[in-house]
Amino acid sequence: MTVAIGEPVRRVEARDKVTGGARYTEDVRAADTAYAALVGSAISAGRVRSIDARQAERAPGVLTVITHTNRPDFAAQPPTPYTAEGRMPLADDRIHYAGQYIAVVVAETQEQADHAATLVQADYQRTSPVPTLDAALPAAYIPRQNGLVRFPSEYRRGHAETALAASPVRLEQEYRTATLSHAPMEPSSTLAYWEGDRLTIYDSSQAVHTHRALVATAFGLPEDRVRMISSFVGGGFGNKSFAWPHVFIAPMAARVVRRPVRVTISRKQVFTGTGHMAATVQAVRLGADREGRLRALIHDSTNQTSFIDDRQEGAAGTTPYMYAIPDVYARMRVAKVSTGTGGAMRTPGDSAGAFALESALDELAYKIGMDPVELRRRNHADTDPVSGRPWSGKRLLACYEQAAERFGWDRRKAEPGSMRDGDDLVGYGMAGGQRMEHQSRARATVHLSDEGTAVIRSSTVEIGGGGLTTLSQVAAEGLGLPVGAVTFEHGDTDLPASSPTFGSLTSGSAGSAVRLAAQDALRAAIELAVGDRRSPLHGADPDDVVAHESGLRLRDRPDRAESYRELLRRNRVNSLRGDGDFQPAGETAGYAMATFGAHFTEVRINRHLPRVRVVRHVAAFSIGRVLNARTARNQAQGGIIMRLGAALMESQRPDPVSGRFISPALTDYHVPVNADIGEVDVLFVGEPDTNANPLGARGLGEISAVGICASVANAVYHATGRRVRSLPITPDKLL
Amino acid sequence: MRPFVYERAEEARSAVAAVADRPDAMYLGGGTNLVDLMRLGVAEPARLVDVSRLPYDTVGVRPDGALRIGAAVRNSDLAAHPAVRRAHPLLAQALLAGASGQVRNMATVGGNLLQRTRCAYFQDITKPCNKRNPGSGCPAREGDHRNLAIIGHSEACVATHPSDMAVALAALDAVVHLEGRDGPRTLPLTELYRLPGDDPRRDTVLDPADLITEVTVPALSFGGRSHYRKVRDRASFAFAVVSVAAALDVAGGVVRDCRIAFGAIAPVPWRARRAEEALRGAPATEDAFAAAARAELGQARPLRDNAFKVPLARNLLVRTLTELVVA
């Protein structure tokens, strides 16, 4: 049996990526392409009184300028949230946020389009904007238009207020998280062209089948008239999970100029035109007894949303599932701000929510003089507190234990400010993390060829997480092939529909589809062999035949074996096809499913110049089976580093007067650079979790980014005695 | 970006002539700031005169020990120059604290001195800005100004100067050599920059046709005992929140002489003459350093959200001087 799953196989596309061979959406060329530039609104609230495009239309190379006054109609508004905004681009004269597209300039070259875009003159009628979440808070409300949110906006068990009032120890605090930008390296790009009423659209999309359906609806086409292709994505993080306005603008413009049209948004438009993680204000109230047993929890979160949509950042969504607390109330509200609609950003809801809840638990631990790990152990939810069902493969206690040991948590002196090294204050902090696992239907085929190779065909998109590699390993192991014998056709709606590449769906859902397809192909090969008189396996019980070294053999008789190549060639079969169609068991599974993590952080802070440095971070995750030790470690480190940025430096601050983002540029929106990153150590405690799905794997991408901010803030408190409840923890907050 | 004519100057006089006749012409050095501003629509020159290939690309030491730095020398090359590292470590450190390796490989000394403020409102042409559009107002006062000035600013403008290198050069009494309409002249670097007052349009006293050709740095006997320290929101590739350049001459526990300049707290590289005055002859102690910081920062008038820069600048100066005593 070839053991491929779990091996630290190098990324199958690594060579192409480092040699420039990998073709991203921006690299795709089509003959006679015209280029579009998108003109953004200069104001953040009001109306466009008029647009004077005459100068732009006369500029060299300009083909057309499209505005709300001359645009073609869309057939329909496709549903949110996968259509990111509940308003089609250029719909009318209303302005909801700064940077909202008000005109599209199409020209022969990108440079000509960009230049002409600066010549478009808009006359605005300004109204007064709601610039910040603080300004909007008094009008917060339970979202009316909820979309596809995974959690209800209100959850209640028991009587939290009463239980809180009766608790001997009480804690009430408010926590704030900043607006964050995904800031991927690759700005979103779309290339669209029409052939009659057939539309081909190359798009830097994390979910081609999901987005194709939206585009088809918008243009009134049957889905099979639209083909969407997303080869590689240069950084997603949820930035490309939803179809943002430019995705609809490219086909619209292509129809107007009757040529292929390319839209690549500018670096600044990455920040305003493809979403963000919305800022939150979260009140947490905890009641406990003096032994640290939690009796009541109220988690009340409000996030900013746009005037277009009620987009809930589900910060209190996972809260009811996390600890064994009898009385819990969770609520999530939204408040309208003159800003764009928030997107899904790693990790939606949970990253922000865990900062509040896991900070509050730390505060409680200090209040009652208990080790923060012990406090969490005492409140461990052995079964899902919401459904009462057993967990599928929860090993959170092992996460605490193994990460604490690796970190050296026993060296921690409990007293804040008690650990020093010269002028450095040293702090140890920890936090837990949890994310409810969900699954999606996913399909794949595996073709086993008479060369002894296999091709996976599935529309999953490689967004950098390593999915092509891990899924290749799954197929290789299923068929007894070396990973190098497996190739992958991916990211195209002409292929079987995989799960979207977001929401940590790839390992569990896309992976299960590939596993089922590989099993199906294997079954076909076995059938062929046992029915073939010339095969050494002729007449064998199919259940006794296994895949082995690029062929088949009897489980107990290594000498009765033959290669796929011999078998298929002798039978003049070019290839055998296996189909995989994974359908999540959902509510009938009998198990509650989630992924879990534990984080331990060491910070050092110069007491005179208090910039927080994370010198060491140790995390342990319970995610079931790890498909590839190398890509998993890499992905988890990436998730951790992303959230270290949120903890220490990232903030897309709104102008307090207009609401316009202050720093829509990588020079000013700081993400961590290499010099910021200390040692990041990652452990996986899990074993295959076959209750979850046939593959035994759960998602890693999202859980890797939950709990880090609290772990850092808790370490900062331990180092300094200062509790920072508002992210990011910049030097000014510690002076 | 507005279309423009690009030309490469062959020598200084013709470069000056090319710009002097045309009010919408600008010099181009490494382009690491000007090209960004053109992309943003903040700068809209109709003609760029590239002076980066003029023969001002060497660093030398004069017989009197002064450094001669050509205006076209790349930041990376200057930072790596043995004479700079030996005699003026604070200058090398300031250069290396700026930007990234890639940017430093492009950026020139002359261009670095003339880079514009990073104030978000200056860079956003949808916003009013007295520096960009005189009389339109300063939204930063009411807006986001966490990283703007605490000293030397005015009602009209609260921007800061972003350069690290210029802070070190301000401390070192550098002299700027110019080629202008009326021929060559020199100017102390601290007099190159002007405070905004009620006319923040111009950052410097230069005429648009003035071309920086060279910067000289006089020998400083205690230049070897110097340091540039920068506090920023991340470990690298970020503009300063506060920075300090300091050189210290201590004998017998007493400060004989010193040079101090702050960065990122003022519209100009801020030479801290009051602090220097307070320190000369004072004991080289933390208390004296703190008193010197107070002497300088007592003039600070922080805005609503940047008062933290005052204690941060104080602590930074005290730590830097303390380390120089120990060193």
Question: Per residue in A180-216, pLDDT tens?
Answer: 999 999 999 999 999 999 999 999 999 999 999 999 9
User: In what order do the strands lie in the sheet containing B226-231?
Assistant: B226-231, B242-251, B254-263, B270-271
**Which member of A115, A660, A732 has the closest CB to residue B3?**
A115
CA distance A35 to A253: 9
Residue numbers of B between 58 and 117 with CB closer than 8 Å to A: none
Look at A662 and B120 and tell me if their CB atoms are within 8 Å.
yes
Residue B301 has pLDDT above 70, yes or no: yes
Element (H, E) at A170: strand A169-177
Asked if residue B95 lies in contact with residue B105, where contact means CB atoms within 8 angstroms, the answer is: no
- CB neighbour list of residue A543: distance below 8 Å, 6 or more residues apart: none
The predicted model gives A605-615 an average pLDDT of 96
Reduced to 3 states, what is the DSSP secondary structure of residue A239?
coil
User: In what order do the strands lie in the sheet containing A169-177?
Assistant: A154-157, A327-336, A294-305, A280-288, A169-177
Ramachandran bin of B253, using left for φ above 0, alpha for ψ from -120 to 50, beta for the remaining angles:
left
Compute the radius of gyration of chain B from its Cα atoms.
19
CATH code matching the domain that covers B54-327, chosen among 3.40.1390.10, 3.30.465.10, 3.30.559.30, 3.30.1950.10: 3.30.465.10
The pLDDT assigned to A689 comes to: 82
Minimal Cα distance from A41: which residue of B? B126
The pLDDT assigned to A587 comes to: 57
Ramachandran bin of B81, using left for φ above 0, alpha for ψ from -120 to 50, beta for the remaining angles:
beta
**A707 DSSP 8-state letter:** S
Q: What percent of chain A has pLDDT over 90?
A: 92
- CB neighbour list of residue A159: distance below 8 Å, 6 or more residues apart: A327
Residue (of A19, A12, A25, A9) closest to A491 by Cα position: A25
The predicted model gives B21-35 an average pLDDT of 95
Does residue B234 belong to the interface with chain A, where contact is any CB pair within 8 Å? yes
CA distance B298 to B291: 10
Residue A147 C-beta-side C-alpha neighbours within 13 Å: 23
Look at B233 and A649 and tell me if their CB atoms are within 8 Å.
yes
Q: Which of A118-122, A464-468, A712-716, B225-229 has the lowest mean pLDDT?
A: A464-468
Instruction: Tell me the pLDDT band of B291, cut-offs 50, 70 and 90.
Output: very high
CB-based burial of residue A266 (10 Å sphere; 0-12 exposed, 13-18 middle, 19+ buried)? middle
**Which alpha helices (H) appear in A3-45, and where do they start and end?**
14-19
Residue A399 has pLDDT above 80, yes or no: yes
The pLDDT assigned to A4 comes to: 82
Residue (of A430, A380, A427, A381) closest to A402 by Cα position: A430
pLDDT, tens digit (0-9, with 9 covering 90-100), for A270-293: 999 999 999 999 999 999 999 999
Average pLDDT, chain A: 96
Residue B245 has pLDDT above 50, yes or no: yes
Residue B303 has pLDDT above 90, yes or no: yes
Q: In this complex, how many residue pairs, one in chain A and one in chain B, have their CB atoms less than 8 Å apart?
A: 82
The gap between the terminal CA atoms of chain B, to the nearest Å, is 50
Q: What is the largest CA-CA distance in chain B?
A: 62
**Is A687 noted as a catalytic residue in this protein?**
no
Instruction: Tell me the pLDDT band of A586, cut-offs 50, 70 and 90.
Output: low
Instruction: Tell me the pLDDT band of A504, cut-offs 50, 70 and 90.
Output: confident
Residue A666 has pLDDT above 70, yes or no: yes
Instruction: Tell me the pLDDT band of A589, cut-offs 50, 70 and 90.
Output: confident
The token pair at A262 is: 């390319």
Chain A nearest C-alpha distance from B125 (Å):
9
Residue B228 has pLDDT above 50, yes or no: yes
Look at B234 and A670 and tell me if their CB atoms are within 8 Å.
yes
The predicted model gives B26-33 an average pLDDT of 97
Instruction: Tell me the pLDDT band of A149, cut-offs 50, 70 and 90.
Output: low
Instruction: Tell me the pLDDT band of A438, cut-offs 50, 70 and 90.
Output: confident
Q: What percent of chain A has pLDDT over 70?
A: 99
Chain A nearest C-alpha distance from B178 (Å):
31
Which parts of A409-518 are beta strand (E)? 420-421, 424-436, 442-449, 454-457, 486-489
Where do we find the tokens 């009480």?
A170
Does residue A667 belong to the interface with chain B, where contact is any CB pair within 8 Å? yes
Does residue A722 belong to the interface with chain B, where contact is any CB pair within 8 Å? no
Chain B nearest C-alpha distance from A667 (Å):
7
Query: Of A80-84, A691-695, B73-77, B123-127, where does the model show the most confidence?
Result: B73-77
Where do we find the tokens 């994505």?
A233
Reduced to 3 states, what is the DSSP secondary structure of residue A433?
strand
CA-to-CA dists, residue A371 to A365, A367, B160, angstroms: 6, 10, 46
Burial B9-22 (b: 16+ CB within 10 A, else e): beebeebbebbbeb
Complex-level ipTM? 0.96
Asked if residue A66 lies in contact with residue A254, where contact means CB atoms within 8 angstroms, the answer is: no
Look at B235 and A656 and tell me if their CB atoms are within 8 Å.
no
Minimal Cα distance from A659: which residue of B? B143
The predicted model gives A521-537 an average pLDDT of 97
The pLDDT assigned to A687 comes to: 80
Does residue A670 belong to the interface with chain B, where contact is any CB pair within 8 Å? yes
Residue A636 has pLDDT above 90, yes or no: yes
CB-based burial of residue B224 (10 Å sphere; 0-12 exposed, 13-18 middle, 19+ buried)? middle
Q: Catalytic residue, from A313, A358, A566, A702: name it.
A: A702
The pLDDT assigned to A1 comes to: 46
DSSP string, B46-57: SEEEE-TTSS--
What residue ranges define each of the domains in chain A, with the CATH number in brackets? 14-21+440-583 (3.30.365.10), 32-128+182-273 (3.30.365.10), 280-438+589-733 (3.30.365.10)
